[in-house]
Amino acid sequence: MKVLAMAVVALALSGTAARAADPRYPDWPCTQAKVPEISLAAVWAGPALDDVQNKWKDDAKVSALVAKLSARKTPLDEAEKSVKEFLAASATDKTAKAKLLFAGLFDTLNAQRSQVMAGLERVSRKQRESADKIREETIALHELQGATPRDEAKVEALGNELIWKTRIFEDRHKVVRFVCEVPTTIDQRLFALGRVIQQEME
């Protein structure tokens, strides 16, 4: 790879790593706006949950179902079916069970979402550090190539290292773009399951 091309790549990578959509969250790497927590009002229009907060953990059946429904490997249609079956079997105390179930889902999915977002910001900081190193090494390579006499072994070694680091950076960037969709997917899952729970309570 030519020095000029590498320099352009390094500068482009540096800009990509440093750019933040919202100055309040300088490490947030996604084009989607960062919403730190899901608002309860945005996903739940049912009865107040004040009287069931944390109590869902004390109900073994609810806890087990929350774990299953919260897992992204569980297809949404299967999760919705499980909600309906659970609440149909809870006819005598359906409202109480429904509230416990949604409280558990809200807590669990919000926690999942926070973990994903914290991971994205950690990777973003690493990307910024990587971009700085790539830029510095590109300048160093340029100096080596212009030196007299020119040390071909050092030029080749640093050039190969830069190509390798650039590939790692680009691969990580692709993963970040994919993971940026996860918080939105969690939002949608919680909203969909909340809607089914509310419909089954009516």
Instruction: For residue 171, tell me if it sits in a domain.
Output: yes
Burial of 181 (0-12, 13-18, 19+ CB in 10 A): exposed
Q: What is the mean pLDDT of residues 86-101?
A: 89
Look at residue 78 and tell me if it is in a domain: yes
Q: What is the count of structural domains for the chain?
A: 1
**Residue 64 maps to a domain:** yes
User: Is the whole-model pTM more than 0.75?
Assistant: yes
Q: What is the pLDDT of residues 121-151, one digit of tens each?
A: 999 999 989 988 998 999 998 888 888 888 8
pLDDT value at 24 more than 90: no
Whether 89 maps to a domain, the answer reads yes
Evaluate whether residue 76 is within a structural domain.
yes
Q: Has residue 41 been placed in a domain?
A: no
Domain hosting residue 132, numbered range: 3-31+47-201
Measured distance CA(69)–CA(190) in Å, rounded: 9
Residue 40 lies in a domain: no
**Has residue 36 been placed in a domain?**
no
Specify whether the CB–CB gap between 81 and 69 falls below 8 A: no
Confidence of residue 1 (pLDDT cuts 50, 70, 90): very low
* Helix count and strand count (H, E) for the chain: 7, 0
